[in-house]
Amino acid sequence: MNIICSKESIINHICKTSNEVADHFDKFYLKDIELLAEDIAISFNILNQIIDRPKETQVSDADFQSALLIWTAINTSIASIEIFRRGYLKEPPMLSRNILEIVGTAYDIHLHPEKLTLFRAGRYKSTESIGIVKKIHPIIGKTYGVLSEMFAHVNRLHSLPQGSYNSERKSIWIGGGFSESDKLIQTIILSDLTMTLDFINLVMEFIFYDEIKEHRFWTKVKDGVYKHLPIERIRKRGNAQMKEIQQFLKIIKI
């Protein structure tokens, strides 16, 4: 392996090759990205209606901050999609873990408005929010644990250079790249992106249930009591994602 780097080659990758990688990616996964974009658009429209209101109908300070945090979480999910399209396979799950902390914080501040003071003072511990938000749905806590163990905490995965993960034809890249032989890991990362977006929307809908006209994740049983009942499209997608991720975890023996 003979790799010679220069400033010009790095700039060329950032400005040109990266776009070519994304174009190649889109030939295989554009329809999947379009489905994510559809859900993202719905979520932004919901948040905009909550945030952009006349003073007399505004939500509480705590809920306003929660809405802003969820907005950031969705923007971060767009960033995950962008770097995934450009061939970075380890980095999107790192962002997914951060997203879960952001929505966990949003829920905690909604549930405990007094913590807004700590948050504004920079003394709020976002990692502790996972123990609170997982009470909405335990899969959030389990997913956070897997993302921490596999991607956020440094392990043998991080010693593998960026490149094709195909066992018969390994390669090493500077920056991101795309290989059709890496379909399994690409499918898993796509499932992670989709599941993380679902978690954002699940928490957002739980917080702002009464502010939302069409519900995708919850049904109201009585005041303060909700049942997780996602619409069929999201339920089927979630079941498929869990099967794919479980298959992947068996393969890598985590």
More confident residue, 162 or 22: 22
Beta carbons of 233 and 76 less than 8 angstroms apart: no
What is the rounded distance in angstroms from the CA atom of residue 104 to the CA atom of residue 132? 7
Domain count, the chain: 1
Distance separating the N- and C-terminal Cα atoms of the chain: 31
| 8 in any annotated domain | no
Mean pLDDT for 54-80 is 94
User: Comparing C-alpha atoms, which of 143, 148, 151 is closest to residue 90?
Assistant: 151
User: Comparing C-alpha atoms, which of 235, 226, 233, 236 is closest to residue 204?
Assistant: 226
- The pLDDT tens digits of the residues spanning 3-16 come to 678 999 999 999 99
| 195 in any annotated domain | yes
Residues 6+ apart with CB under 8 A from 98: 76
What is the rounded distance in angstroms from the CA atom of residue 175 to the CA atom of residue 152? 19
| 6 in any annotated domain | no
Split at pLDDT 50, 70, 90, the class of 165 is low
| 172 in any annotated domain | yes
Where helices occur in the chain by DSSP H, the ranges are 7-12, 18-51, 61-85, 91-111, 115-120, 129-133, 138-147, 183-207, 232-252
| 214 in any annotated domain | yes
> Angle at CA 148, nearest 5°, toward 146 and 152?
135
Split at pLDDT 50, 70, 90, the class of 210 is very high
45 exposure class (CB count in 10 Å sphere: 0-12, 13-18, 19+): exposed
- Range(s) of the domain holding residue 86: 13-51+59-252
Split at pLDDT 50, 70, 90, the class of 251 is low
User: Comparing C-alpha atoms, which of 74, 78, 87, 110 is closest to residue 20?
Assistant: 87
CB atoms within 10 A of CB 14: 12
pTM of the model: 0.90
Give me the pLDDT at residue 166, please: 53
| 1 in any annotated domain | no
| 96 in any annotated domain | yes
| 102 in any annotated domain | yes
> Angle at CA 42, nearest 5°, toward 36 and 47?
125
Inter-CA distances, 234 with 161, 169, 195, 197, Å: 35, 36, 10, 11
